Amino acid sequence: MKNDDGNTALHEALFALHASTKNVNSLVDLACYLVLIDPNVSCHQNNAGKSPLCMAVESGSKDILEYILNALPRGDGLLQRLQGKSPVHVAIEHRKLDMLRIIKEEKEELFLLPDEEGNTPVHFAACMGYIKEVRYLLGIKSSNCASARNNKGFYPLHIACENGHIQVTKELLRKWPDPTELLCNKGQSNLHVENVVRYLLKEKCTDKLVNKMDKNGNTPFHLAALHGHSMVVVALMCDKRSNVDIQNYQGHTAYDIFKSNVFSKDQQIDVNDRNLKASGVKDNSLEVDLKNSENPKQFQMVRNTTLLKN
């Protein structure tokens, strides 16, 4: 039975325990008794999407967490019963490594549970940039969550790059020495993300990715030009491994895309144009009608001419 907030009696007992400084032992006994009567109620979410199991993690109630985990079944039976947020995700969110250790010891299968977007605990920790949690999760050998894709086809390494978490990226690269295996569903690798490109270019293991094409034939250089990442354009242009003359499947070089997107038609020839040509980039004289472009906002690049000087 639930109240208007979707709370069970166990929810309310845990709320009272969290807010009280008196009668703590009695409230703990009450919570454990409610778990004993019906262990499954520990998995029921309220209107806020929280189960008593997650509340125990969030509040740091080790005794109650251990009691709940011991009362629940193991394996798929537990994963099918659990509603709302994963207790592992909650522990990561609140940076409670001690709670993660208890969950691992009692019910390690919970580390396999993704959220509604398919993000595993490693995805979540990588997104937050929590290096200690990432290292701990990568050390759980029985879990394959570190090498799983989310619903968008991204690995944790993509998420770390996207959010600019260099330390997490380094840790994940140690896990996968060959990042060419880490192509997402669109065929784009971690090198297509702006924030940590400069770090990745320093790593020998990324040699194969510098000119790697996605499903549209675009290299990282093409995509940097397309999405307005001017600093990435500069970094790739200065990297000796980068082949600036590669054409995508539409016959366009990265410079074609860059030129058509940076400059309006009456500004096609200027100092930036000459600087790019001086770097050895070929011009296929592509013209794109920005007004008819599907994503014109993506083509707004920094016009600071100093960025393109050698």
pLDDT tens, position by position, 127-137: 999 999 999 99
Check residue 306 and give its pLDDT.
28
Decide which of 144, 178, 205 is a domain's last residue.
Answer: 205
Decide which of 205, 230, 246 is a domain's last residue.
Answer: 205
The verdict on 299 and 221 lying in the same domain is: yes
Question: What confidence tens digit (pLDDT) does each residue in 69-88 have?
Answer: 999 887 667 777 888 889 99
Q: At 290, list the tokens.
A: 């920005």
Residue 295 pLDDT exceeds 50:
no
Q: Residue 185 is part of which domain span?
A: 114-205
Q: What is the mean pLDDT of the chain?
A: 79
The verdict on 137 and 34 lying in the same domain is: no
The verdict on 173 and 247 lying in the same domain is: no
Question: What confidence tens digit (pLDDT) does each residue in 193-236 have?
Answer: 655 677 777 777 677 778 888 888 988 888 888 877 777 788 88
Q: Please give the model's pTM, rounded to 2 decimal places.
A: 0.68
As a whole number of angstroms, the distance between CA 20 and CA 59 comes to: 12
Domain CATH for 126: 1.25.40.20
Decide which of 187, 205, 223 is a domain's last residue.
Answer: 205
Cβ-based burial of 181 (10 A; exposed 0-12, middle 13-18, buried ≥19):
exposed
What percentage of the chain carries pLDDT values higher than 70?
75
- Among 150-154, 268-272, 294-298, the least confident range: 294-298
The verdict on 158 and 253 lying in the same domain is: no
The verdict on 56 and 69 lying in the same domain is: yes
- Sequence-distant (≥ 6) Cβ neighbours of residue 292 within 8 angstroms: none
Of 187 and 65, the structure prediction assigns the larger pLDDT to 65
Residue 106 pLDDT exceeds 90:
yes
